[in-house]
Structure 1
Amino acid sequence: MSKDYRRIAEGILQGIGGKENLVQAAHCVTRLRLVLKDEGKVDADKLQKVELVKGHFTNAGVFQIVIGPNEVEKVYKEFVELAGVETATVSDVKEVGAKKLNPFQRLIKTFSDVFMPILPAIITAGLLMGINNLIGAEGLFIEDKSLLEAYPDLQGLWDLINTMANTAFVFLPAIVGWSAAKRFGGSEILGIVLGLLLVHPDLLNAWNYGKAAAGIEGEIPYFDILGLFQIEKVGYQGQILPVFVAAYVLSVVEKWLKKRVPNAIQLLVVPITTIVITGGLALAVIGPVTRHLGDLLTQGIVMIYDAAPAVGALLFGSLYAPLVITGMHHMFIAVDLQLITQNGGTFIWPMIALSNIAQGSAALAMFWVAKNANEKSMASTSALSAYFGITEPAMFGVNLRHKFPFYAALTGSALGAVFISLNGVLAPAIGVGGLPAFISIMVQHIPMFLVGMAIVLIVPFVLTILFHHIGKKRTQKSPA
């Protein structure tokens, strides 16, 4: 049955205190993102009763209403027409909402703004890499053989997929350079050029830098600048921090020049000056310093993980979903990529995938116990969404509303995270954080990851049903 999106938009507008309380409106994949004059005027009960509204929360100064994929666009179209406001982008809304944030929240928001646009490229690369790993895994499908060995005709396809999978990681600084320059207000094309500079083939491959620095293989080449000083000819393939900081510097330099260079010669002067200054700083100062900081960060995380994997996993599995509410989870993308670059795999992303599945399992259990048709519909669609990596509908529309499913999901997530951490499960890339996640796990770790998946499928489901029945019995026993 088709939905009355006009009526839904009217209900939302009334729930937020009317169009007089609305400053700006945008939408993402699953949520309406609103800047309100006074969030105290929001009628939470009225808002929650609106069809399709699965929950609401405030993050980074923006009031967000969870609707769900596809339908959010239809609701948004009617909403802006009724409210009489201009359509806006998520970036526009975030910029207005950012004025309410403290410095730490602004840092988290900056990471989110830079990494969210490039996530599809990273996930696509991760999935393709996972498919290639399955094709090349020895003994996974055929005893003592890989599919490549059994069917040599697959070699060409394997090579092609491998090239596609590696592209996003090999040229990751260019992708980040584009997104970061856009976020910091610089020229996006110069951000790409800066990122490509950091992975130029004339520079020593970042993966061989360690061997040269340790004297194991070859020597570190240098640019000799007029006999005054030397700059290492070292690339930063797969690294995040160098290009992230360099793109910020590029944007500052470019904006400074544009204010001072006459319009008639800007095209001639600004781009070349910006690239020469920023490129030199990136190779001479920013790259070496941020690489060292990235190494320290990675070593620190790995050291903690090695010292107490069960404790770290227990905390991460329990806290990741609450971090999603605050938006802090976006920072883990950078940490994952740093771990993959330096250690060849990340132990964080597999735990994130299990956390998403756990939220879906708790929502699925609510579908099982719910009596109301609308609640059943919301729980089933939200569970399916979470099983494919989008957890907001399940978290805000089902689990947090009833509380006990959310706690059940956190319990299952923590247990699953502890199990896979104790078994050393790693992912060589970031994939879809749900049921398809096993594709992006290192082949030798897939069996243990599947056991972890079984834990987060079963435990939250069973606990949610138990909590529901316990709560139901207490309600029946309580005096009228």
Structure 2
Amino acid sequence: MLVAGGLVKLILMILGPSALGLVQEGSDLFKLLTFVGDAGFYFLPMAVAYTGSKKFGSNTVISVFIAGIMLHPTMAEIVAAGKPFTVYGIPMWLTTYGSTVFPMILITAVQAQVEKLLNRIIPDQVHLLFVPVLTVLAMTPVALCVLGPCGAIMGVAIESALMWVHDVLGPVGIALIGALFMPLVATGMHLPIIVLGMSTLATQGYENVIFVMGAASTFASIACGLGFLIKAKTAEDRELGLSCFITQALVGVGEPTIFGILLRYPRVLAYQAIGTFVGTLYAAIMGVTCYAPLYTNFTVVLEFIGGDSMANFVHACISGGIGFVVTLALIMILGVEGNKSRQS
């Protein structure tokens, strides 16, 4: 959903006034591509509702329905009016939920427990009739008056924290996030960071803290596969290096590199982190900004097309090149052997 919306935005950026100038601002095509691209981000709560329902075990259709309630035009009108509004007599915090992430995560988690309770107390013969409607009626005040506002506040707080990293720690802080990202991926602890970046990207239309490392990290991982292929001493290792290089560079699948190389050879994981740090540091110093989420293959640099010129894209390409060259150079000079670990 986000990738599709991001690609539409990318097409508009390339064809629009800031690049090729083939699509003029204010034209029907410009308006069409604008709202089509924005839709992928505005309706993000529905995608979160879907994935959240799969994670927590709630009814997927009802989860998406609740997300639709929170995105309904009437809801936006109530917020825009600025007048007090109550849900079953409970005051509702006036805020909109387009492009948000955390509210629906909280809502689907609680919804799953509500449905479990209803399924226990309602006879099986009438589950289909009563459980969905009672879930919606019960979750509406909880979503609009409690969980939705809490999630919105969480999002604002986290965005403020990211801005603190950007403004106070500066390029070094951003580069450290990049360097630590792949070790976090290897341990499965990267998802909260991705959620933070996606939340900021969806609400602001750009992200300049977490996803800045995108090009450097991706090309550093590509370099790991290529370097391992070059330094391989056995046919098995050459096959592993080639498969990792191809899957990361062309397909954007990083698991073979992570579990086949990085976790087995901690030294290579360190090289990848160093390459990502240096490349991300350059990107952060140059003020590189991410405008759309794309695949983690060689096309990752396209997510940096945006702004008033192509300078952002050029610096992102240089950042990726730095990550690639530094990582590959470390592998070629220092090698991949060392404290090899077979645990993966």
> So what's the TM-score if we normalise by structure 2?
0.86
SS in 1 for 2:291: coil
Q: 1:319 pairs with 173, 177, 180, which one?
A: 180
Output one character per residue of 1:206-254: Cα deviation in whole Å (capped at 9) or x when no partner: 9xx7xxxxxxxx642443457x553245430110111111111211111
Match of 2:319 in 1: 452
Match of 1:123 in 2: 3
Match of 2:341 in 1: none
Q: 1:148 pairs with 3, 16, 23, which one?
A: 23
Q: Does 1:467 find its partner at 2:334?
A: yes
Aligned CA distance change for structure 1 residues 440 and 205 (closer, same or farther; 3 Å): farther
1:128 Cα deviation (Å)? 2.8
C-alpha separation in 2, matches of 1:394 and 1:137: 40
Q: Does 1:134 find its partner at 2:24?
A: no
SS in 2 for 1:198: helix
* Structure 2 residue identity aligned to 1:356: T
Match of 1:304 in 2: 165
Q: Does 1:362 find its partner at 2:224?
A: yes
Q: 2:297 pairs with 404, 428, 434, which one?
A: 434
C-alpha separation in 2, matches of 1:189 and 1:170: 19
C-alpha separation in 1, matches of 2:82 and 2:106: 23
CA contact (8 A) 1:135 1:158 kept: no
Output one character per residue of 1:416-446: Cα deviation in whole Å (capped at 9) or x when no partner: 1111112222212321123211222242321
C-alpha separation in 2, matches of 1:205 and 1:291: 18
> Relative to structure 2, which stretch is displaced further, 339-348 or 168-177?
339-348
C-alpha separation in 1, matches of 2:87 and 2:270: 60
Q: 2:150 pairs with 289, 297, 300, which one?
A: 289
Work out which structure has the larger RCO, using CA pairs closer than 8 Å and 6 or more positions apart in sequence: 2
Residues 329-408 of structure 1: pairs in structure 2 closer than 5 A: 329-347=190-208, 348-387=210-249, 388-408=251-271
Aligned CA distance change for structure 1 residues 291 and 192 (closer, same or farther; 3 Å): same
* Structure 2 residue identity aligned to 1:339: T
C-alpha separation in 2, matches of 1:265 and 1:233: 36
Aligned CA distance change for structure 1 residues 232 and 369 (closer, same or farther; 3 Å): closer
SS in 2 for 1:327: coil
C-alpha separation in 1, matches of 2:257 and 2:56: 33
SS in 2 for 1:398: helix
1:340 Cα deviation (Å)? 1.6
**Higher-Rg member (1/2):** 1
1:179 Cα deviation (Å)? 2.1
1:283 Cα deviation (Å)? 0.9
Q: How many pairs does the alignment contain?
A: 332
C-alpha separation in 1, matches of 2:87 and 2:46: 25
C-alpha separation in 2, matches of 1:191 and 1:340: 23
Structure with more of its chain in strand, by fraction = 1
Q: 2:63 pairs with 181, 191, 201, which one?
A: 191
C-alpha separation in 1, matches of 2:225 and 2:286: 28
1:205 Cα deviation (Å)? 7.4
1:318 Cα deviation (Å)? 1.9
CA contact (8 A) 2:215 2:319 kept: no
Match of 2:342 in 1: none
1:164 Cα deviation (Å)? 4.0
C-alpha separation in 1, matches of 2:77 and 2:285: 33
* Structure 2 residue identity aligned to 1:265: V
* Structure 2 residue identity aligned to 1:178: Y
> So what's the TM-score if we normalise by structure 1?
0.63
Aligned CA distance change for structure 1 residues 232 and 398 (closer, same or farther; 3 Å): closer
C-alpha separation in 2, matches of 1:369 and 1:224: 67
Aligned CA distance change for structure 1 residues 313 and 439 (closer, same or farther; 3 Å): same
C-alpha separation in 2, matches of 1:325 and 1:371: 25
Structure with more of its chain in helix, by fraction = 2
Q: Does 1:172 find its partner at 2:44?
A: yes
Output one character per residue of 1:367-423: Cα deviation in whole Å (capped at 9) or x when no partner: 223343332232122112222432221233234444443322221100011111122
Residues 213-292 of structure 1: pairs in structure 2 closer than 5 A: 219-224=81-86, 228-232=89-93, 234-292=95-153
C-alpha separation in 1, matches of 2:59 and 2:252: 32
C-alpha separation in 2, matches of 1:378 and 1:321: 19
| Percent identity between the two aligned chains | 23
Match of 1:87 in 2: none
Residues 415-434 of structure 1: pairs in structure 2 closer than 5 A: 415-434=278-297
